[in-house]
Amino acid sequence: MATAAPVQPDAPRRGIKALLARHPLVFYFIIAYAFSWLEEMPLVLSEDGAGLLSYRSPLGLYATIAIASFVGPFLSAFIMTGITERREGVGRLLRQLVLWRVGLRWYLFALIGLPAIMVLSVIFLPGALASFQGLAALAPLPSLVLFVYVFFLGGPLGEELGWRGFALPRLQRRYGPLVGSLILGPIWAFWHLPIFWIPELSAHHPQHRYVCHCGYRLHPRHDVGL
């Protein structure tokens, strides 16, 4: 049985809030980019990044990425939802974080399928197979910590609420599932651009890895949820 769409509160009619409310997607992307890139720039420009400035970043790569996802997509979605839908909309947005009643196949895909895809994708990186030292070289505890970080703090918890929770539904309502996803893909991919110039992440092939990342974000299944 279909349920009625929630009634949206009246948007503000004057001032900066009115401007943001008239163009929620545009300003969502502007805020997400501006806040994240400003947070990442100290690391990117430091000796740990592009080396343009002579200082070491106190945060490091992984803390910088985690913070950027929260001050960018997450905070932008929170701000724009509050302006356009007020408290009721913010509540609906945050409740998406605790939607756990899904089919078993989706849990299996998230916990087994995605890690398998990520491991298999490494074979396309130049020299990756030649440098493989076997499973014995893996440290179980650090690997587990990294797994938890990547699947929670390293993107999903901070990014997904913004890209999927705020931007994607609005794009798909306007342009349809496929076109809306294809629009979001390159915007989402380009948001990651600064960190691909950090040697710790990109090794010696920043352009190659970024192109692969763009392809992943552009794939329709990634956002349509097929």
Q: Looking at per-residue confidence, does 106 or 184 come out higher?
A: 184
Interatomic CA distance for residues 41 and 138, integer angstroms? 32
- Position 80 scores a pLDDT of 95
- Position 37 scores a pLDDT of 95
- Position 24 scores a pLDDT of 95
Look at residue 30 and tell me whether its pLDDT is greater than 90: yes
Look at residue 171 and tell me whether its pLDDT is greater than 80: yes
pLDDT tens for 63-73 read 888 888 899 99
Q: How many degrees, rounded to 5, is the angle at CA 84 between CA 24 and CA 77?
A: 60
Mean pLDDT of 198-215: 56
Average pLDDT, the chain: 77
Mean pLDDT of 161-182: 92
Mean pLDDT of 23-31: 96
- Domain residue spans of the chain: 15-224
Look at residue 176 and tell me whether its pLDDT is greater than 70: yes
Dmax (CA) for the chain in angstroms is: 63
- Position 136 scores a pLDDT of 55
**Look-up: residue for tokens 């994240």?**
36
Look at residue 125 and tell me whether its pLDDT is greater than 60: yes
Q: Calculate what percentage of the chain has a pLDDT beyond 70.
A: 67
* Model confidence, pTM: 0.74
- Position 128 scores a pLDDT of 65
What is the DSSP secondary-structure string of the chain?
Answer: ---PPPPPPPPP-SHHHHHHHHSHHHHHHHHHHHHHHHHHHHHHHSTTTT--SSS--SS-HHHHHHHHHIIIIIHHHHHHHHHHHHHHHHHHHHHGGG-----HHHHHIIIIIHHHHHHHHGGGSTTTTTT---GGG--HHHHHHHHHIIIIITTIIIIIHHIIIIIHHHHHHHH-HHHHHHHHHHHHHHHTGGGGG-HHHHTT-HHHHHHHHHHHHH-HHHHH--
**CA gyration radius, the chain:** 19
Number of Cα atoms under 13 Å in the Cβ half of residue 7: 2
pLDDT tens for 12-22 read 567 888 999 99
- Position 140 scores a pLDDT of 56
- Position 104 scores a pLDDT of 87
Interatomic CA distance for residues 203 and 188, integer angstroms? 22
Mean pLDDT of 215-222: 49
Mean pLDDT of 93-113: 82
- Position 173 scores a pLDDT of 93
- Position 209 scores a pLDDT of 53
- Position 95 scores a pLDDT of 87
**Cβ atoms of residues 212 and 124 within 8 Å:** yes
- Residue 95, sorted as left (phi over 0), alpha (psi -120 to 50) or beta, turns out to be alpha
Q: Which of 93-97, 144-148, 190-194 has the weakest average pLDDT?
A: 144-148
